[in-house]
Chain A
């Protein structure tokens, strides 16, 4: 079981003077329980990739399959209900009078009764108690609460794959934490793809990382390999590593250490401190 994209390409505005490729042959897959982080500067094709993986854009070339089924093969849409997609700032899509009703919209569309039960368990999952929140107007929530309620609207459809575009952008530290915890819980039942331009945030959860640059994969592999390859990716402009990783890269360039950079700041401190000559 996996959501798989094989050699996927996409061109915008075909046949006009604005035509330009947004993706040029990208391959990746995610299985339930896995977490794949997609990095890249704005305009690198991250959002296009997400829309294709969510079945909302048909690629100009290449295949997308959900658990082995592609769209063309059957009359049933294989994406429907199986793949949940949250765009940037999903709270801008609230429309119902209450949070409970808004969250129930997805499961109801999927023919899952009135969706109330699904909505309740989704609200629990994102850490918003249904008793306190289900009857409130979604337009009165704070930033972090609104973001989590919007994510609950996706999770209520019980997707096997969860695609998230910048899930924590614009939130303060508490909001970041609450959203990451919700995502970690969702991972128990779903494969998660997180698109982000924050270099550090989700890496410690990632099973695999895809770095996009101008619509092509500049890197694809484990976090360990990403860090080992950081020099090249940084020099090529594909990835700006988090500052503590950059510090380790700098130390290595200066010949102070030979170890590849690590993600954990505590471990990094021990490596740098042990490498000698530290004042």
Chain B
């Protein structure tokens, strides 16, 4: 029985955020990220936080899913706050003292500021992957980088390669797990000896894994040929990707926010 790992964290529901053009979303996220790093004050940060909250609500994804990424960076958050807040003596105006350590208000404030910035960065970017399937994302990247075609960069084929890589990650993870378990059943040990012995122990996993991957790649290429894949020129996609007024409007709002946080706040 296969119970594969989820691919990325895309949640397939219909929402205004899902409906936005992936290229527009990439633009908005870029603007948002730049905004985060130019915002120097709490009001600026608050404005961006409100944007993220509105975005999350509009995307109708569970709050827990939006916050999942925060858990993985929680240690970094704690360290960021501590590194900024804790001072050795003599601290200027200490709030709390524990032995030679002191917490000062200014440090605490900047610690919290940096931590909030990280949280917003994680939640904001995960909104992109939560509401955009990897295929759409690859399509979006393709269109954002389309001008590079003038420099003879095969943008479309690269985007297709990216999509296929994404599609085969879970399959490959499952296969690696299956081969490793099978070789374990044949008495293989992966946890003995020095680094060289360990690396050698992986040969019975890596050789069949790569052999199968190459065979699969060959089969897939045949199947794609049978399905008339001739490169990305003239290909159409299920989700029509064209910037509509709503996309331009969202992008405009993002631009205004960027200027507001960077210049005014």
Contact = CB atoms under 8 A, between A and B. Distances in A.
A56 B185 contact: yes
A234 B235 CA distance: 48
Chain A's interface size range is: 35 or more
A129 interface: no
A154 B187 CA distance: 10
B93 interface: no
Interface string A39-50: 000111111100
Interface stretch (B12-20, B102-110, B175-183): B175-183
A87 B179 CA distance: 9
Interface string A68-102: 00000000000011011111001011111000000
Contact of A105 (B1, B178, B181, B204): B204
A47 B2 CA distance: 9
A174 interface: no
B219 to A, nearest CB: 13
B189 interface: yes
B1 A45 contact: yes
Nearest to A79: B185
B98 interface: no
Nearest to A22: B1
A106 interface: yes
A173 interface: no
B186 interface: yes
Contacts of B181: 51, 56, 87
A81 B184 CA distance: 11
Interface in B8-29: none
B203 interface: yes
Contacts of B1: 22, 42-48
Interface of B: 1, 3, 6, 178-179, 181-189, 203-205, 207-208, 211-212
Interface of A: 12-13, 18, 20, 22, 42-48, 51, 54, 56, 80-81, 83-87, 90, 92-96, 105-106, 109-110, 139, 153-154, 157
